[in-house]
Amino acid sequence: MLIDCGEGTQMQMRLYKIKRSRINHIFISHLHGDHYFGLIGLLNSFALNNRQDELHIYAPEKLQYIIQLQMDAAGANLPYQLYFHHLEKEEIIFEDKKLSVECFKVKHRIECWGFIFREKKNPRKINVSAVKKYKVPKSFFENLHLGEDYVNSKNVMIKNEILTIASEPPKSYAYCADTAYFEAICEKIKGVDMVYHESTYLADQEKKAAERFHSTSKQAATVAKNAGAKKLLMGHFSSIYDSLEKFTEEAREIFANSEIAEEGVCYFS
Amino acid sequence: MLIDCGEGTQMQMRLYKIKRSRINHIFISHLHGDHYFGLIGLLNSFALNNRQDELHIYAPEKLQYIIQLQMDAAGANLPYQLYFHHLEKEEIIFEDKKLSVECFKVKHRIECWGFIFREKKNPRKINVSAVKKYKVPKSFFENLHLGEDYVNSKNVMIKNEILTIASEPPKSYAYCADTAYFEAICEKIKGVDMVYHESTYLADQEKKAAERFHSTSKQAATVAKNAGAKKLLMGHFSSIYDSLEKFTEEAREIFANSEIAEEGVCYFS
C-alpha cells in the first residue's frame, strides 16, 4: 500500500530498496502536485516491467481523467488491470482478512481526504508445548484459533487460554494528509495508535497556517492528544525552516510522544 | 531553454546547480512519459517560487489539455504567463537576435518532433588597437559591426577586416528525439555541428529497434555521417545494457566523433 505519490517517489523507492511491484493499493489524498505527480510515472514503470497484478487507486474522481488523458496521449495499453475507486463519502474503502482502510474528510483548499488503516484482530496462536501436553489433535487447531476450549475424550475441558497464546494487538494508523486544524478531526480518528498529522509551520505562524489550510506543530500535537493516540508523526514542513528541532520541541509540550517523519525511516506506534 | 523534461528533471537541475528560473522556453518532443512527466512539477515549482517571467512551451497540442486539467484539479492560478505553441508543421518556432529554433518530424510510434537550434552569425568584434590607430570615432562602431568599411576625413578607406575581428562561427545543434532510423532525417538536419541521435540498442538489435521505432548505435552514426555533422551524441540507451562502451565502439566504426551523452556533462561540437 502506498499513500500519496509525489514526483520522484519511484526513484526514492529504488533508493530505499522498496519493491515497487509489491504495491497493489495506492491512496491519493488530494490533487496538489506534491501528492500525486509521481503516480503516472509509477504506473508507466509498472507497464514497462510488464506487471500483471491488478492495481487499485483510491482518489478524487478527477485523477482518473488526468491519468486517462496521459495514457491516451502516449497511445499506451497497460498490461495490468487498473481500478479507480473514487472517494465520495467517509466509509470503508478497502477490506481484506488482515486490514481495513477508511477515508475521512479533512480541511484543505481543495477536496482532501485522510485515511485510517486498521489491522484486524489477529487469531490466537497455538501454544505448541501445551497442545502436546494435553494431546489436542491437529484437526482441532482451527477451533483453537477461533478461541474455543478443548474437551478431551475423558470429558475434561482445557481452557483456550491454556492452549493458545495471545497475538500482538492489532494496530491502527491515521494519515491526516494536508489540513487546517479543526477539532472534529479528533473524533474521526479517535483511538488510533499512530497519527500522521501535517505540521507545515511552527506555532507562531498559526494565522498563516489557517489562511493556507495548513497546521502548526502545536495543532498537530493537540489533535494527537485529543484523539487519544499513542504516537504522533509530523511532516510536510515548510521549506522556510532549515532545522526541524523546534517542531518536536513545541509538539512535545502538548503531546510527549511526537516525532518528525524522516525519509526512509520505519515508524511503529 | 530546456529540451524534454522527464520525471525528476527539476531535482537533477538542483543537483547540477542549473538555475531553473533562467529557463524561458521548453521544447517537448513527444508525449511518452520519459519526455514530459517532470514538466508539471517544474511548472508548479515556478509558481511556488512566484515566477513572473513568461514561459513558452513548444509541444504536441494534447500536452496543453493535460497541463490544464492538472492545473484545474489543483485549483491553481499561475503567477506567470504560460504560452503553449502547438507543433504542427516543420517550421521555425522560435527566433530572437541570437538564435533560431526549428522543429522537424521524426518517426516514432506517436507524433514526435526533433529540434534544430541555430546560432545566428555573430557580428564582427571591434579591433581595439586598430580603431585607435586609424582614429575611427565611436559613433561609427555600429557600422563596423555590420561590416562596413571606414572612410576618414582625408577620403582614405580603411577596410572593415582591418578594423574588426571575426567572431566565433555560429553553432548549430539538432536534437532528434526518439526515432526509428530513416534516411530522410539526414536532409532535415544537413550540416549541423552537433547531432543528438537516440541509440536505444546496439547494432545486433536492428530488427527490434525498428519494431519499437528506435535506432541502433550504427544507425545513429550513419545519420551523423550522412548529415555531415561534426559530432554525434548518443543517448536513450535501453536498460538491458549494463555498460555503454560498445555503443561508442560500434558508432565510431562509422563516424569517428561519436560520444555517449552523460548526465551532467556539457558538450560542444
Other CB atoms within a 10 A radius of the CB of residue A248 amount to 17
Same domain, residue pair A83 and A153: no
pLDDT band at A158 (very low <50, low <70, confident <90, very high): very high
- Tell which of A11, A34, A70 to mutate to test the B interface (max B CBs under 10 Å): A70
Diameter of chain A by CA atoms?
Answer: 74
As a 3-state breakdown, chain B gives helix, strand, coil percent values, each rounded to 5, of: 35, 20, 45
Of A41, A66, A75, the CB nearest to B69: A66
Distance CA A256, CA A190 (A): 18
Same domain, residue pair B79 and B129: no
The pLDDT mean for chain A works out to 96
Q: Which three cell numbers stand for residue B150?
A: 571606414
Question: Cα A112–A118–A124 angle (5° rounding)?
Answer: 175
* Residue A135 falls inside a structural domain: yes
Find the helix or strand (DSSP H, E) in which A144 lies.
helix A141-145
Last residue of some domain: B107, B133, B165?
A: B165
* Residue A255 falls inside a structural domain: yes
Q: How far is CA B198 from the centre of its chain?
A: 14
Helices (H), B49-196: 62-74, 128-133, 141-145, 160-163, 184-188
Same domain, residue pair A151 and A215: no
What would you report as the CA-atom Rg of chain B, rounded to the nearest whole angstrom?
23
Q: How far is CA B247 from the centre of its chain?
A: 22
For B69, nearest residue in chain A (alpha carbons)? A66
pLDDT band at A215 (very low <50, low <70, confident <90, very high): very high
Distance CA A269, CA A14 (A): 26
For B32, nearest residue in chain A (alpha carbons)? A74
Domain containing A186 — which CATH number? 3.60.15.10
Once rounded to an integer, what is the mean pLDDT over residues A120-134?
92
Same domain, residue pair B147 and B189: no
Phi-psi bin for B240: left (phi > 0), alpha (psi -120 to 50), beta? alpha
pLDDT band at B269 (very low <50, low <70, confident <90, very high): low
The minimum CA-CA distance between B196 and chain A, rounded to whole Å, is 22
* Residue B106 falls inside a structural domain: no
pLDDT of residue A209 exceeding 90, the answer is yes
Distance CA B123, CA B87 (A): 31
Of A31, A62, A73, the CB nearest to B62: A73
Same domain, residue pair A155 and A193: no
pLDDT of residue A129 exceeding 70, the answer is yes
pLDDT recorded at residue B168: 87
For A63, nearest residue in chain B (alpha carbons)? B73
Distance CA A150, CA A139 (A): 11
- Tell which of A13, A37, A236 to mutate to test the B interface (max B CBs under 10 Å): A37
User: Measured between beta carbons, which residues in chain A are less than 8 angstroms from residue B214?
Assistant: none
Helix (H, G, I), strand (E, B) or coil at A117: strand
pLDDT band at B124 (very low <50, low <70, confident <90, very high): confident
Give per-residue pLDDT as tens, B26-75.
999 999 999 999 999 999 999 999 999 999 999 999 999 999 999 999 99
Distance CA B214, CA B30 (A): 14
Once rounded to an integer, what is the mean pLDDT over residues A108-129?
94
What is the share, in percent, of chain B residues with pLDDT greater than 90?
94
The minimum CA-CA distance between A53 and chain B, rounded to whole Å, is 21
Burial B114-146 (b: 16+ CB within 10 A, else e): bbbbbeeeeebebbeebbeeeebeeeeeeebbe
Same domain, residue pair A7 and A66: yes
Give per-residue pLDDT as tens, A225-250.
999 999 999 999 999 999 999 999 99
Find the helix or strand (DSSP H, E) in which B75 lies.
none
* Residue A100 falls inside a structural domain: no
Give per-residue pLDDT as tens, B83-94.
999 999 999 999
Same domain, residue pair A158 and A191: no
Once rounded to an integer, what is the mean pLDDT over residues B180-208?
98
**How many CA atoms within 13 Å lie on the side-chain side of B190?**
4
Decide: pTM greater than 0.80: yes
Same domain, residue pair B183 and B249: yes
Same domain, residue pair A82 and A132: no
Q: Which three cell numbers stand for residue B154?
A: 582625408
Once rounded to an integer, what is the mean pLDDT over residues B97-115?
97
DSSP string, B9-50: HHHHHHHTT--GGG--EEE----SGGGTTTHHHHHHHHHHTT
Give per-residue pLDDT as tens, A48-106.
999 999 999 999 999 999 999 999 999 988 999 999 999 999 999 999 999 999 999 99
What is the share, in percent, of chain B residues with pLDDT greater than 70?
100
Of B10, B37, B110, the CB nearest to A40: B37
The amino acid at residue B31 is: L
Last residue of some domain: A134, A165, A196?
A: A165
Phi, psi (degrees; rounded to nearest 5) at B242: -80, -40
User: Measured between beta carbons, which residues in chain B are less than 8 angstroms from residue A37?
Assistant: 37, 40-41, 44
The minimum CA-CA distance between B169 and chain A, rounded to whole Å, is 40
What is the share, in percent, of chain A residues with pLDDT greater than 70?
100
Are B32 and B179 in contact, with CB atoms under 8 Å apart?
no
- Domain assignment of residue B78, given as a range: 1-88
Same domain, residue pair B8 and B79: yes
Count of structural domains within chain B = 3
Phi, psi (degrees; rounded to nearest 5) at B165: -120, 140
Are B43 and B78 in contact, with CB atoms under 8 Å apart?
yes
CA distances B54 to B36, B100, B186, Å, are 19, 18, 34
pLDDT of residue B173 exceeding 90, the answer is yes
- Intra-chain end-to-end CA distance of chain B, in Å: 18
Q: Strand B258-260 relative to strand B231-235: parallel, antiparallel, unpaired? A: parallel
Of B98, B117, B108, the closest CA to residue B58 belongs to: B117
The amino acid at residue B218 is: K
pLDDT recorded at residue A55: 98
Q: Tell me if residue B34 is catalytic.
A: yes
* Residue B257 falls inside a structural domain: yes
**What angle do helix axes A62-74 and A39-48 make, rounded to 10 degrees?**
50
pLDDT recorded at residue A261: 96
The minimum CA-CA distance between B37 and chain A, rounded to whole Å, is 7
pLDDT band at A124 (very low <50, low <70, confident <90, very high): confident
The pLDDT mean for chain B works out to 96
Other CB atoms within a 10 A radius of the CB of residue A87 amount to 23
DSSP string, B163-199: HEEPPPPP-EEEE--S----THHHHHTTT-SEEEEE-
Same domain, residue pair A158 and A185: no
Same domain, residue pair A179 and A253: yes
For B62, nearest residue in chain A (alpha carbons)? A73
Interface predicted TM-score (ipTM) of this complex, two decimals: 0.83
